[in-house]
Structure 1
Amino acid sequence: MRIVKAPPLARHLHDEQPGWVDRLVLRRKSDRPDFNRRMFDEDFARLFGFRGRERGNLFNVVSSDDELARKLLANADPRYERRSVDQSVRKRVEDIAQSLVRFGAAYYFLHDNPDSGEIRVNSFGSGDIGYLFGRHIQWVPKRLKRNWDREDEKVPGEIRLLDSAKVMRFVLPHGIKRMLSVQNRTLAVLDRHEFKLTEFQPQATHENPNPTNHFDFGVWRNTKDRVFYRSTRSTGWNGRKQDSSKRSDFFDCHRLIRFRRNQLILRDDIFRQLSSELSKVGRFYNAEFTVDISGTDNLPSIKDLNELEAKLTREEIGFTEVLDCIFER
């Protein structure tokens, strides 16, 4: 294991199983979460995936150096030359949200080329990042380096010392993190038992080709539904369930509002963190650089949802009005 000062590796291919030290240090994540968790992650991270989102600018970007802010947001990549600042902010916020919801953290690193003036802000994995003696470090196990013009080579493990001035770190708000942690534990249990019904089906035999099954599958489904709705009460997620005959419109409306409010809490916190982190890395080029990102009136606000919920409680609006307010903005 060697210690080097170097930019982080976005991904690295292991040529063998990691050693016990690697397993102790690295926080391994599964490649794909299970059924319910995967659906929730997709739904919760879709912060701007509603109709009417193209009506006017969605974001206010106020900066002491507009050109530098544009480069930091758009990566100064020729492929994105035509992308507006509004589109760049939206893409960056969505990418951060997806990483936060799935992994609980998101890391970006500022890569610059002094000769060409190019600036790139690229994401890299969070499972192998730590903080030691005031510096961000990346733990990289032994890996296989692919080469197109010669044989592949084995590279020894490394502890990479990252330039903290170029690291952007994003974390879930504490309340959201605690909420998702509790919910995901229950969703994991439900996913493990998703196809357990087959274990309660008696096996047919030659003597008894049509065995009687005394197991009540209705009770099983109802129990699973109750566990699901209790586990998702705090987030308000409905699991994409359309069986409204088991739920009242009032129940669905309050759930929709609660789920959207949690999304907006996450969105606004990402705005805050993105403003702070961009200001920090931007000072590598301009000591006085600042940038502030916020939503315009074309985006829904928590205040809007609070007023909507108050009207629903007073029975001044119905199910259709709530759906229009949630999905039209």
Structure 2
Amino acid sequence: MKITFGQPPEWFPPVKLKGLEHVFLREPIDGYRSQYIHMFLQDMQQLVPLGSRRERDAYFDIETNDQQLAIKTLAALDRKYRSTHMADALRHILSFTAMELFQAGRSVIALRTKLDEYEWNITSVHPSASRIVSLGPFLIQFLPERDNGYFGKDAETYSREIRILNRKSVLCIELPSTLKRFKEKFLKRLQLLSNLANPDTDKLFPPISLENPNPRKNILDFSAFRKNFDIALFQTIRETGWMARNFTGEEKSDFLTSVWRLRFRKFQATLRMEIIRQLNEQIPNIIRQSSPDFEMFIREKGLLTPDELTNMERQLYAGDISFEEVIDSTFSL
């Protein structure tokens, strides 16, 4: 196994881990195998309303001394759509970053810059963030044994490698430590609840046989199970304000729905502001390696802040605002 320094991160397809590779690598969270994790990741990543289109309020002011370079940078970071409209690109960046933060605890993109006499060329490399660890000032990626075989091409096998990445060219957005601890516990509970949501009834009831055609033992009380399950789900999700897409039932009310919407929007707003803060710190530092005078600052415009959402919750408890005002405000954010 070789160790390399100052290398960019590398993306590699899923591989079957061998031996001690399990010590260094962990599987990323697969939301598709867990209904509650999948739903939460989908809902949580909508940090900016869909109204942030070019024909609507953009929700952001981007202050820069080089508009074209800023557009190229954000388009490179928008890894899926490559949008050249800055507000759209930023909305996509925030969405993907939020998803990766809750799947792997960090989002890592390598920006490769090339400056020639004609124009800037910027491309991005997106490795699997779950394969990258942060140790103090170092960012380390462990690459397992892998090959480049595809579509019948003769495969070339690459040996295991530890890369100590060049942070100067890597954008690394990380969850705050408090959210990291919360994320691990929260997603584990959602996974457990997903496993319990649809119990295997074949294991709960005794089998029917000729000797016992109508078994009556160990009958599960589904109403009691459902009640206890709902309590466990509520206790898990209440800190985020996410309602697990369950807005109906005798225990639900307009007041409860309004309070939880405010809390979930506050959770999203806190995460959005943290991502933007780290983008403002890191993007200029990376681009200045080739363009020393580059400046860029992303500022929110018209989006509710955590303090404003907290104040709305206080007003709701005091009866100073209506449910309709809360719902309208949180849908448009």
Q: Quick check: TM above 0.5? A: yes
Q: Counterpart in 1 of 2:27?
A: 28
Q: Counterpart in 1 of 2:4?
A: 4
Match of 2:180 among 177, 182, 185: 177
Match of 2:330 among 323, 326, 329: 326
Contact 1:44 1:101 in 2 (8 A): no
* SS at 1:151 equivalent: coil
Q: Counterpart in 1 of 2:59?
A: 58
Pair 1:137–1:75, CA change in 2 (3 A)? same
Query: Which runs of 5 or more structure 2 residues have no equivalent in the other structure?
Result: none
Pair 1:245–1:131, CA change in 2 (3 A)? closer
The residue type equivalent to 1:29 in the other structure is P
Contact 2:241 2:261 in 1 (8 A): yes
Pair 1:29–1:147, CA change in 2 (3 A)? closer
Match of 1:123 among 118, 123, 126: 126
Q: Counterpart in 1 of 2:72?
A: 71
Displacement of 1:106 in angstroms is 0.4
* Residues 1:233 and 2:234 aligned together: no
Q: Counterpart in 2 of 1:205?
A: 209
Structure 1 vs Structure 2 CA RMSD: 2.6
Q: Counterpart in 1 of 2:260?
A: 255
Q: Counterpart in 2 of 1:221?
A: 226
C-alpha separation in 2, matches of 1:262 and 1:113: 38
Q: Counterpart in 1 of 2:38?
A: 38
C-alpha separation in 1, matches of 2:164 and 2:52: 41
Q: Counterpart in 1 of 2:249?
A: 244
The residue type equivalent to 2:275 in the other structure is I
C-alpha separation in 2, matches of 1:76 and 1:102: 18
The residue type equivalent to 2:141 in the other structure is Q
Match of 1:305 among 305, 309, 325: 309
C-alpha separation in 2, matches of 1:106 and 1:182: 20
User: Residues 72-221 of structure 1: matches in 2 within 5 Å?
Assistant: 72-75=73-76, 83-114=84-115, 117-131=120-134, 134-146=137-149, 150-196=153-199, 198=201, 199-212=203-216, 214-221=219-226
Which sits farther off after the overlay, 266-275 or 283-292?
283-292
C-alpha separation in 2, matches of 1:202 and 1:112: 66
Displacement of 1:71 in angstroms is 1.7
Partner deviation per Cα, 1:85-122 (whole Å, 9 max, x = no partner)? 11111111111111112221100101234457411133
Match of 1:272 among 242, 253, 277: 277
User: What percentage of aligned pairs have identical amino acids?
Assistant: 28
Contact 2:29 2:103 in 1 (8 A): no
Displacement of 1:7 in angstroms is 2.4
Displacement of 1:147 in angstroms is 5.6
C-alpha separation in 2, matches of 1:161 and 1:269: 26
Which sits farther off after the overlay, 95-104 or 28-37?
28-37
Partner deviation per Cα, 1:134-168 (whole Å, 9 max, x = no partner)? 44332111111126684112111122232221011
Contact 1:76 1:119 in 2 (8 A): no
The residue type equivalent to 2:204 in the other structure is F
Query: Which runs of 5 or more structure 1 residues have no equivalent in the other structure?
Result: none
Displacement of 1:312 in angstroms is 0.8
C-alpha separation in 2, matches of 1:164 and 1:47: 27
* SS at 1:245 equivalent: coil
Pair 1:136–1:313, CA change in 2 (3 A)? same
Which sits farther off after the overlay, 225-234 or 105-114?
105-114
The residue type equivalent to 2:325 in the other structure is E
* SS at 1:246 equivalent: coil
C-alpha separation in 2, matches of 1:196 and 1:149: 43
The residue type equivalent to 1:180 in the other structure is K
Pair 1:48–1:293, CA change in 2 (3 A)? same
**Normalising by the residue count of structure 1, what TM-score does the alignment of the two structures yield?**
0.88
Contact 1:168 1:278 in 2 (8 A): yes
Q: Which structure would you say has the larger RCO, counting Cα contacts within 8 Å and 6 or more residues apart?
A: 1
C-alpha separation in 2, matches of 1:207 and 1:17: 49
**Normalising by the residue count of structure 2, what TM-score does the alignment of the two structures yield?**
0.87
